[in-house]
């Protein structure tokens, strides 16, 4: 199954290696930013939520510019500088000591990350054809989570809120990890060039984001993504961690174990899920994702109910929530980018991927800002009801998208693989 999921082009395989290595650093810090800012650096819950929300806001503002730059100059010239900026910002988190410095550092990180996701997805899309793209995006996500899991195991063993130096160490290591994909891209000079060739005299692309937003199926896909990520991914760093520690009363180490369970689920199930999803409706799979995410949050809610009576059961529920969530991710990870690039044109592919990444920017603003107050209301019950309901609404939106797609776009009919030409220079 691994051999079947691997892309044919060696350049794409090296990009996947960069994903794995950089993800190890990301796993060191992923679930601990809120805890680091509050329990180690002394920020209030509200201020920490605003700092993380500010990151999402800056990313959201800059993402459209990143997509335009990718289409204009090529992903390579955008992604490499962004990786270097991201490394500098992440390492600077070790020096945060106040609300002001936290805002400044998160601004730098947001500038770096604003185009990395869309740029890397654009590069992978240009190195694969329609027949293998869904499998490659799924494998990319599995490697991403394998690295995150390895990093989570390391950080779970060393972090201690009474020893700030342990948090500083993992942020420095995370910064170093961002240099790996940058170095790999530097060794692939023909990868990430501008996609749209000079057939029209290198004239700038027409339509821009207006053309993207006029795409009715893509608009519906964006709505689905906004609802799902706001009630799903955007809750991991703040909602999940805060509910687990404050309401379910588990230790931060249990949160790290939960992240490991999430990774184990993804690594073990991803290739099987990829194979099972071939030839099946992408919108149907996205609807199932919403239901699975809702089930995961219900299990976490159960942890809050039993916390005072049985700490072991509460911890098991927290870990189970993360594992169930991971199973939903194995379906979302290949479907969302594959469907985005099935709708995109080469001329506007960077903008399509930027719009897709903006979904995480918007939810990154809404999720952290609202999670704190919702968790503080009625012992977290309001938060559980809100995220469960939102995930189920996302499922309904996904089902409504199917009638707007062709069978090939929806994945019900497999596209015929074609030979992919080498990337053309601008």
- Find, among 371, 32, 409, 417, the residue nearest to 215 by Cα: 409
pLDDT band at 420 (very low <50, low <70, confident <90, very high): very low
Of the ranges 199-208, 326-335, 405-414, the best mean pLDDT one: 326-335
pLDDT band at 296 (very low <50, low <70, confident <90, very high): very high
- Mean per-residue pLDDT, 318-336: 93
Among left, alpha and beta (phi > 0; psi -120 to 50; other), residue 422 is beta
Q: Which residues contact 332 (CB under 8 A, 6 or more apart)?
A: 228, 286, 289
Ranges 23-27, 215-219, 258-262, 386-390: which has the least confidence? 258-262
Residue 3 within any structural domain of the chain:
no
- Mean per-residue pLDDT, 220-248: 88
- Mean per-residue pLDDT, 244-254: 86
Q: Which residues contact 352 (CB under 8 A, 6 or more apart)?
A: 67, 212, 218, 340, 341, 343, 344, 345
Residue 154 within any structural domain of the chain:
yes
DSSP letter at 417 equals P
List Cα–Cα distances, 227 to 98, 110, 362, 394, in angstroms. Answer: 32, 22, 10, 6
How buried is 403 (Cβ within 10 angstroms: 0-12 exposed, 13-18 middle, 19+ buried)? Answer: exposed
pLDDT band at 414 (very low <50, low <70, confident <90, very high): low
Start-to-end C-alpha separation, the chain: 36
Q: Which residues contact 330 (CB under 8 A, 6 or more apart)?
A: 138, 141, 142, 265, 266, 269, 270, 273, 274
Share of the chain above pLDDT 90, in %: 36
Domain encompassing residue 226: 11-194+211-404
Ranges 18-22, 139-143, 191-195: which has the least confidence? 191-195
CATH of the domain at 190: 1.20.1250.20
303/316 Cα distance (integer angstroms): 8
DSSP letter at 214 equals T
Share of the chain above pLDDT 70, in %: 93
Asked whether the beta carbons of 71 and 347 are under 8 A apart, the reply is yes
Q: Looking at the predicted structure, is the pLDDT value of residue 361 above 90? A: no
**Comparing 101 with 129, which gets the higher pLDDT?**
101
Residue 378 within any structural domain of the chain:
yes
Residue 201 within any structural domain of the chain:
no
Q: Which residues contact 96 (CB under 8 A, 6 or more apart)?
A: 37, 41, 102, 105
Give the number of C-alpha atoms closer than 13 A to the C-alpha of residue 29, restricted to the C-beta side.
24
Residue 5 within any structural domain of the chain:
no
Note the pTM of the prediction, 2 decimals. 0.78
- Mean per-residue pLDDT, 363-376: 79
Q: Looking at the predicted structure, is the pLDDT value of residue 418 above 50? A: no
397/339 Cα distance (integer angstroms): 15
Domain count, the chain: 1
Query: 């290949």: which residue's tokens?
Result: 334
- Mean per-residue pLDDT, 24-42: 85
**Comparing 130 with 281, which gets the higher pLDDT?**
281
Q: Looking at the predicted structure, is the pLDDT value of residue 183 above 90? A: yes
Query: How much is the pLDDT for 419?
Result: 46
pLDDT tens for 46-92 read 888 888 878 878 888 888 999 899 988 889 999 999 999 999 999 99
Residue 6 within any structural domain of the chain:
no
Quick one: CA dihedral 282, 139, 230, 251, positive or negative?
A: positive
Residue 399 within any structural domain of the chain:
yes
Asked whether the beta carbons of 221 and 350 are under 8 A apart, the reply is no
200/25 Cα distance (integer angstroms): 43
Measure the CA dihedral 116/123/223/281, to 10°.
-140
Residue 412 within any structural domain of the chain:
no
Asked whether the beta carbons of 292 and 320 are under 8 A apart, the reply is no
CA angle 260, 164, 44 (to 5 degrees): 90
């Amino acid at each position: 199954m691994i051999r079947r999921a691997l892309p044919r082009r060696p350049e794409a395989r090296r990009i996947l290696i960069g994903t794995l290595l950089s993800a190890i650093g990301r796993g060191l810090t992923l679930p601990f930013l809120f805890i680091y800012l509050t329990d180690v650096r002394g920020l209030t819950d509200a201020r920490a939520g605003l700092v993380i929300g500010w990151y999402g806001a800056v990313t959201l503002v800059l993402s459209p510019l990143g997509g335009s730059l990718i289409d204009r100059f090529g992903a390579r010239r955008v992604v490499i500088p962004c990786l270097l900026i991201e490394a500098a910002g992440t390492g600077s988190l070790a020096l945060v000591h106040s609300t002001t410095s936290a805002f400044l550092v998160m601004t730098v990180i947001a500038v770096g990350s604003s185009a990395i996701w869309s740029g890397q997805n654009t590069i992978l899309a240009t190195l694969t054809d329609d027949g293998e793209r869904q499998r490659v995006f799924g494998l990319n996500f599995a490697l991403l989570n394998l690295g995150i899991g390895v990093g989570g195991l390391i950080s779970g063993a060393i972090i201690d809120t009474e020893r700030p130096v342990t948090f500083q160490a993992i942020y420095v290591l995370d910064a170093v990890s961002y240099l790996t994909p940058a170095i790999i891209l530097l060794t692939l000079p023909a990868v990430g060039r501008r996609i749209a060739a000079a057939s029209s005299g290198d004239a700038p692309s027409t339509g821009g984001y207006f053309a993207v937003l006029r795409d009715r199926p893509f608009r519906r896909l964006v709505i689905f993504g906004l609802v799902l990520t706001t009630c799903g991914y955007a809750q991991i760093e703040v909602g999940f961690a805060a509910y687990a520690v404050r309401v379910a009363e588990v230790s931060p180490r249990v949160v790290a174990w939960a992240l490991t369970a999430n990774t184990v689920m993804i690594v073990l199930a991803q290739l099987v899920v990829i194979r099972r999803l071939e030839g099946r409706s992408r919108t149907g799979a996205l609807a199932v994702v919403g239901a699975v995410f809702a089930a995961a949050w219900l299990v976490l809610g159960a942890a809050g109910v039993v916390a005072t009576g049985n700490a072991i059961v509460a911890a098991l529920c927290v870990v189970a929530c993360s594992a169930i969530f991971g199973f939903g991710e194995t379906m979302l990870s290949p479907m969302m980018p594959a469907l985005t690039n099935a709708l995109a044109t080469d001329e506007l592919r960077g903008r399509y991927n930027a719009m897709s990444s903006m979904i995480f920017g918007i939810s990154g603003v809404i999720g952290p800002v609202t999670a704190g107050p919702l968790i503080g209301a009625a012992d977290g019950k309001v938060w559980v009801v809100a995220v469960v309901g939102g995930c189920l609404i996302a499922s309904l939106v996904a089902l409504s998208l199917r009638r707007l797609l062709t069978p090939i776009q929806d994945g019900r009919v497999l596209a015929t693989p074609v030979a992919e030409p080498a990337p053309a220079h601008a």
